[in-house]
Structure 1
């Protein structure tokens, strides 16, 4: 099953050093039965895009948490796409996040298919979204608009052999 794992550049560097994304359990996003039922008119590609977008939102939250913990993380959302055995994935029933799944095993880097990351042109909008996210969660409409502005940026696709270049 293709799973989209939210990440950050510091977390990706740790995964490269460890040879895997982990430890388990991990939260990811995938084309689940609940997502398929909810988005009935979409084809597989559209459903995978929805899962990727949900993972990008989770990456923004990871960036916000990193910053709160004093971690110097570049303002770029990162999503790792990986092929995970079905037995290691369980889908939840959260109606708000129909694509969310739980992985019971770490993901070896050999199972990573690609990495998706914000272009450098998006960094100012991502930075603004990191700052605005707590207020957006509190119901501030202007802050929500700022967070939505970050989501307007498409993530760029990178092959696994390009990961070292991304980490430089």
Structure 2
């Protein structure tokens, strides 16, 4: 299966993954059911909910979005198409996440 994969994360995990050059395959992959906007948004928000559990409500939710085959292998950073994250520490599960281009990941990790 190919498509968009939504990987819940935290800023700390994202930093580790960037250093490693890859995102580990998630235990429970979150894939958009279809390529329409509603399916992708639902997958993003599902991943955001899991991210909130990862950070235990302290910090910023992060979701890494990658494209390609859902093959169970680590995801090379070249497959990452965007990162979504809270702009401030997480407070409300209904808040939307901001979109960050792959070129902005380093800035995001520095607190931007």
What range describes the TM-score normalised by the shorter chain of this pair? 0.7 to 0.9
Match of 2:20 among 11, 15, 18: 18
Following superposition, the deviation at residue 79 of structure 1 comes to 0.3
Name the counterpart of 2:42: 50
Q: Distance in 2 between matches of 1:30 and 1:46?
A: 12
Match of 2:59 among 75, 79, 91: 75
TM-score of the superposition, structure 1-length normalised? 0.60
Considering only CA atoms, is the larger Rg found in Structure 1 or Structure 2? 1
Following superposition, the deviation at residue 25 of structure 1 comes to 5.0
Segments of 5+ residues of structure 2 without an aligned counterpart are: none
Higher strand share: 2
* Aligned-CA RMSD value: 1.9
Name the counterpart of 1:60: 52
Q: Distance in 2 between matches of 1:61 and 1:9?
A: 13
Moved over 4 A (4+): none
Following superposition, the deviation at residue 119 of structure 1 comes to 1.3
Segments of 5+ residues of structure 1 without an aligned counterpart are: 37-42, 68-73, 89-103, 126-149
Q: Deviations over 1:67-98 (max 9, x none)?
A: 8xxxxxx6100000000314x1xxxxxxxxxx
Higher helix share: 1
